[in-house]
């Protein structure tokens, strides 16, 4: 069960990255507003999880994501600089959760392969 709580923030981060990418691609179409709603939901979900985490690396990730959200999601049409800032913040967060999951994998007991 512990693994579910470790994987969820990683999935939320990947979802936010995908929404960010799709919104940037759709910035010139009429579907952009719906896309921004999905991106905002993904960001808010990830920010809520980060606020519960302890440690300076999570505080730094939270700050980067809040800055990107304030700057980029408030724009009508994101520019390339804004997109880069959002992606960088999300990649930074994903890296943190990659390390968390790797540490968890290392703590798992090793199992012998099944005998056939």
**Is there a domain that residue 114 lies in?**
no
CATH of residue 80's domain is 1.20.120.340
pLDDT of residue 31: 77
Structure tokens at 85: 């800032």
**Is there a domain that residue 37 lies in?**
yes
pLDDT of residue 1: 52
pLDDT of residue 66: 94
**Is there a domain that residue 116 lies in?**
no
For the whole model, what pTM was predicted? Answer: 0.84
Q: How many helices (H) and strands (E) does the chain have?
A: 4, 0
Structure tokens at 101: 């999951």
Nearest to 23 by CA among 39, 9, 43, 10: 39
**Is there a domain that residue 112 lies in?**
no
**Is there a domain that residue 91 lies in?**
yes
| Domain hosting residue 59, numbered range | 2-107
Q: What is the mean pLDDT of residues 87-103?
A: 93
pLDDT of residue 2: 66
Number of domains in the chain: 1
Q: Check whether 38 has a pLDDT greater than 80.
A: yes
**Is there a domain that residue 115 lies in?**
no
Sign of CA dihedral 43, 48, 53, 58: positive
């Amino acid at each position: 069960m512990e693994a579910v709580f470790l994987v969820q923030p990683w999935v939320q981060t990947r979802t936010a990255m995908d929404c960010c990418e799709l919104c940037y691609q759709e910035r010139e179409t009429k579907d952009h507003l719906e896309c921004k709603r999905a991106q905002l939901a993904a960001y808010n979900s990830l920010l809520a999880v980060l606020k519960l985490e302890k440690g300076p690396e999570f505080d730094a990730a939270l700050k980067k994501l809040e800055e990107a959200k304030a700057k980029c999601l408030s724009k009508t049409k994101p520019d390339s600089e804004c997109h880069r800032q959002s992606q960088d913040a999300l990649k930074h967060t994903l890296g943190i959760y990659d390390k968390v999951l790797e540490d968890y994998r290392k703590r798992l007991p090793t199992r012998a392969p099944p005998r056939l």
